[in-house]
Chains A and B, each alone.
Chain A
Amino acid sequence: ETGVTQTPRHLVMGMTNKKSLKCEQHLGHNAMYWYKQSAKKPLELMFVYNFKEQTENNSVPSRFSPECPNSSHLFLHLHTLQPEDSALYLCASSPSWREGLEQYFGPGTRLTVT
């Protein structure tokens, strides 16, 4: 499969559950991103990885834990989430994080916390 893929596409979890979101890019990019998209709000950048190294953590609560084992894969581990964490979580990649270059988005994971 080409581009950026995300699994699962939909996830419903209770506040005490632990789950993980997976993102994979087949574009040979060096930078990967996690965004949170809530209705009628700007995209919120959560984490940035460049060459597997985390470059940004925008004051994201510790109940969200990213992992980047290599330049092609990015995970977001979730635990003890709150209902307000329900949103669309988008993964993106780009050739480099330092330059203004196109970000390629995955289809997103629609997360519902009950």
Chain B
Amino acid sequence: GENVEQHPSTLSVQEGDSAVIKCTYSDSASNYFPWYKQELGKRPQLIIDIRSNVGEKKDQRIAVTLNKTAKHFSLHITETQPEDSAVYFCAALMDSNYQLIWGAGTKLIIKP
């Protein structure tokens, strides 16, 4: 079946440095790619998303890039802060049944 692979599973960066999380999807017809953040003990929340008609989208310190040819997309966080510590999930919307296929998550640790 269709799947989304997410790497790394854990990422530890120094406060102030940048963090990059990468996802690869299998359904070439996918056209919507959201990123969700889940803080410890809290619900997942959308932080940014991108559709297939654009290659990059930014929102302050967060950006997402999409390479449809290679079928991968990435989350970039610059100037990381302690509150960025969380688990981040990527997902891809399957064109056949409109279901989101999720990555396994990346635990981001910001070291002070």
Interface residues, chain A, with chain B CB atoms under 8 Å away: 4, 40-43, 45, 48, 56, 58, 90, 97-100, 102-103, 105-108
Q: Which residue of A lies closest to B92 (CB)?
A: A100
**B34 in contact with A100 (CB, 8 Å):** yes
A interface: dominant SS: loop
Interface residues, chain B, with chain A CB atoms under 8 Å away: 4, 9, 31-32, 34, 42-46, 49, 51, 89, 91, 93, 97-105
**A107 in contact with B43 (CB, 8 Å):** yes
**A100 in contact with B44 (CB, 8 Å):** no
B interface: dominant SS: strand
B9, B51, B100: which contacts A45 (Cβ < 8 A)? B100
- Bound together, the chains give a CA A56 to CA B97 distance in angstroms of 9
Q: Which residue of A lies closest to B89 (CB)?
A: A43
Tell me the minimal C-beta distance from A34 to chain B in angstroms: 13
Q: Which residue of B lies closest to A107 (CB)?
A: B43
Question: Could you give 15 example pairs across A and B, Cβ below 8 Å?
Answer: A4-B43, A40-B9, A40-B104, A40-B105, A48-B99, A90-B43, A90-B44, A100-B31, A100-B34, A100-B51, A100-B93, A102-B34, A103-B46, A105-B45, A107-B43
